[in-house]
Every structure is written in C-alpha cells, then in structure tokens.
C-alpha cells in the first residue's frame, strides 16, 4: 500500500517553495550567503585584499573594506557592475548601494 499520494510533496520541495514565496526568508538567506557571493563575483585576487564586508539590510548598503588604495579606486569605478552581478547571483535586488573604504 502506497501511503504517499501523487499530490503530496517531499519536505525539501515544500521548504524550497516556502523560501521562494516568502521574501523575508529569501532576503535573510541571501544575507547569509552574501559574503560567499561577493568573493565569487570579484574573484580570488580582489578577495585576498578585502578585509571585511558588512551589509545594512535596512538601507541595502554593502560596505567593503579593502587594504589597497589603488584597488579601492578601481572598485569605486566598478560599483554598478558589482551590484548587478551580486543581485543577479542572489536573484533579488538586495544591494542598493556600495560603500568602499
């Protein structure tokens, strides 16, 4: 006797659907993954000169602290691209602005 009916979903399917539909949960999970996504987007070279990353979820501002002044200048020129790539990777418009220090 098969207890599971065709309309029943597995627990992983239910959780995945819940996360996709609840924007607060999606935003929270994205914030947790943000540092990993940042390092993936900018690559190993820039990552090793990045001291820390902080995100303010109320304003959507990502603060990036870097060790190198020339790198800081280059990242300031690439702010829009970084925002686009991170938001595309997350799947939502989480990052509104970047502050590079």
Decide: 50 and 64 in contact? Cβ < 8 Å.
yes
Is the backbone of residue 91 left (phi > 0), alpha (psi -120 to 50) or beta? left
**pLDDT single digits (tens) 8-33:** 778 778 777 776 677 677 677 777 78
Domain, as residue range, for 80? 32-100
Number of domains in the chain: 1
In a domain, 15, yes or no: no
In a domain, 5, yes or no: no
Decide: 91 and 100 in contact? Cβ < 8 Å.
no
Rounded to two decimals, what is the model's pTM? 0.74
In a domain, 78, yes or no: yes
Q: How far apart are CA 38 and CA 83, in angstroms?
A: 10
In a domain, 43, yes or no: yes
- H or E element at residue 55: strand 50-56
Q: Which residues, given as ranges, of the chain have pLDDT below 50?
A: 1
In a domain, 58, yes or no: yes
């Amino acid at each position: 006797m098969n207890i599971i009916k065709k309309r029943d979903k597995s627990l992983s399917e239910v959780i995945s659907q819940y996360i996709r539909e609840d924007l607060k949960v999606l935003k929270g999970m994205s914030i947790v993954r943000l540092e990993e996504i940042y390092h993936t987007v900018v690559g190993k070279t820039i990552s090793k000169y990045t001291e820390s990353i902080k995100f303010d979820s109320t304003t959507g501002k990502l603060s990036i602290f870097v060790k190198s002044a020339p790198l800081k200048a280059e990242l300031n020129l690439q702010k829009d691209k970084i925002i686009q790539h991170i938001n595309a990777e997350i799947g939502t418009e989480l990052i509104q602005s970047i502050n590079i220090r």
